[in-house]
């Protein structure tokens, strides 16, 4: 809720009751609107006359499927994919978020495109500490190559060869990673019909959306249980997908995806716990007789190309 009417767009005037302050004074909730912060929009923010500060309801954020985490000196608001949407600082016993800094910081938009705050920071370092505004511009204007098209094309080709079946149609949402010249050209050349769901209607892709949500929750649980940083989210999701394809039985076919595609049962004897201790063979030439022949590491995934980890 806010006491600043100027922050609200799409304002609707409606009486919602009253708010009681700490000094036992009351104020009226006279309506609600949307607050735009950078590239994000917080909907249905109450307008309370006389309120001197903007207040965030942690409960309402959690009810919308967001994750709110409080640390000793900071707090995070994350979506279901673990992307940091808002970051606050602790001042005495209160956690505050500077809206003017968020709105002027283009990295907010970057966080939506990148997969996590750690991912955006990683690319900041990879690009010789390029400023976030320029990185964000690269993403917004598609000035860098997206790997999605190449991955989709490779997956379709391998699937057709492995199953000896022809893909007839591919249905996706309207995202630019699917709706682009590269995929359109490929589908036209091989005779595959490309279909799109209606814009802003994830319900039409309910199977994929549920699957992505399941993998995301599994990855979050794995990272939390293993006490690993969030930048390993890709490895966690890859393992979750790898193991679930070999363990979750599809109700319609009464088989796991692995059995359905490969026509044989999977071998799961080599499965290991995410983040368990492992030893890497030290094959340096100068190992010597007394030096350690292995380096201690932690297990974060399986190899798709060979019998390795």
| Direct distance between the N- and C-terminal alpha carbons of the chain, in angstroms, rounded to an integer | 50
The answer to whether 183 and 197 are in contact (CB under 8 A) is no
What are the distances in angstroms from CA 139 to CA 115, 177, 186, 196, 300?
12, 12, 23, 22, 28
State yes or no: pLDDT of 264 exceeds 70.
yes
Please state which architecture CATH assigns to domain 148-238: 2-Layer Sandwich (3.30)
- The domain locations on the chain are 1-55, 148-238
* Percent of the chain's residues with pLDDT above 70: 80
Are 70 and 95 contacting, i.e. CB atoms less than 8 angstroms apart?
yes
With 0.75 as the threshold, say if the pTM is over it.
no
The answer to whether the CB of 178 falls within 8 A of the CB of 153 is no
Q: Which position has the higher pLDDT, 145 or 63?
A: 63
Structural element, H or E, at residue 206: helix 206-226
Confidence class for position 110, pLDDT limits 50, 70, 90: very low
User: 297 pLDDT exceeds 90?
Assistant: no
For the chain, the average pLDDT equals 80
Q: Is the pLDDT of residue 232 over 60?
A: yes
Dihedral-angle region of residue 17 (phi above 0 means left; psi in -120 to 50 means alpha; beta otherwise) = left
Q: Render pLDDT for 123-163 as a digit per residue (tens, 0 to 9).
A: 666 777 666 566 666 665 655 656 788 899 999 999 899 88
Query: What pLDDT does residue 109 have?
Result: 40
Whether the pLDDT of residue 17 is over 70: the answer is yes
Q: How many CA atoms lie within 13 A of 46 on its CB side?
A: 19
pLDDT at 245 (0 to 100): 92
Residue position matching structure tokens 């006491």:
3
State CA 151 to chain mean position distance: 18
Instruction: Give the confidence band of 108 by pLDDT, cuts at 50, 70, 90.
Output: very low
Task: Kindly give, in sequence order, each residue whose CB lies less than 8 Å from that of residue 167, ignoring residues fewer than 6 positions away.
Answer: 156, 159, 160, 192
Comparing 91 with 233, the larger pLDDT belongs to: 233
Residue 188 in this model has a pLDDT that exceeds 90: yes
């Amino acid at each position: 809720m806010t006491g600043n009417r100027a922050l609200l767009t799409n304002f609707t005037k409606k009486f919602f009751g009253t708010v009681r302050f700490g000094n036992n004074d009351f104020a009226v909730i006279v309506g609600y609107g949307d607050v735009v912060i950078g590239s994000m929009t917080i909907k249905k923010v109450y307008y309370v006359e006389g309120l001197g500060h903007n207040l965030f309801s942690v409960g309402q954020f959690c009810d919308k499927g967001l994750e709110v985490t409080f640390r000793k000196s900071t707090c995070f608001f994350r979506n279901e994919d673990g992307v940091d949407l808002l970051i606050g600082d602790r001042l005495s016993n209160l956690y505050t978020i500077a809206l003017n800094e968020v709105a002027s910081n283009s990295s907010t938009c970057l966080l939506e495109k990148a997969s996590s705050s750690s991912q955006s920071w990683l690319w900041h370092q990879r690009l010789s500490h390029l400023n976030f505004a320029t990185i964000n511009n690269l993403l917004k204007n598609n000035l860098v190559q997206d790997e999605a098209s190449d991955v989709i094309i490779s997956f379709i080709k391998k699937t057709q060869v492995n199953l000896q079946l022809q893909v007839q149609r591919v249905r996706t949402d309207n995202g630019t990673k699917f709706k682009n010249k590269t995929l359109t050209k490929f589908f036209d050349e091989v005779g595959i019909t490309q279909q799109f769901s209606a814009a802003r209607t994830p319900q039409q892709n309910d199977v994929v959306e549920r699957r992505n949500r399941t993998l995301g929750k599994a990855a979050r649980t794995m990272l939390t249980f293993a006490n690993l940083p969030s930048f390993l989210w890709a490895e966690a999701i890859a393992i979750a997908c790898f193991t679930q394809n070999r363990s979750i039985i599809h109700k319609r076919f009464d088989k796991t995806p692995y059995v359905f595609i490969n026509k044989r049962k999977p071998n799961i004897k080599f499965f290991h716990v995410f983040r368990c201790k492992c030893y890497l063979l030290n094959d340096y030439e100068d190992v010597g007789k007394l030096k350690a022949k292995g380096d201690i590491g932690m297990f974060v995934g399986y190899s798709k190309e060979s019998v390795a980890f």
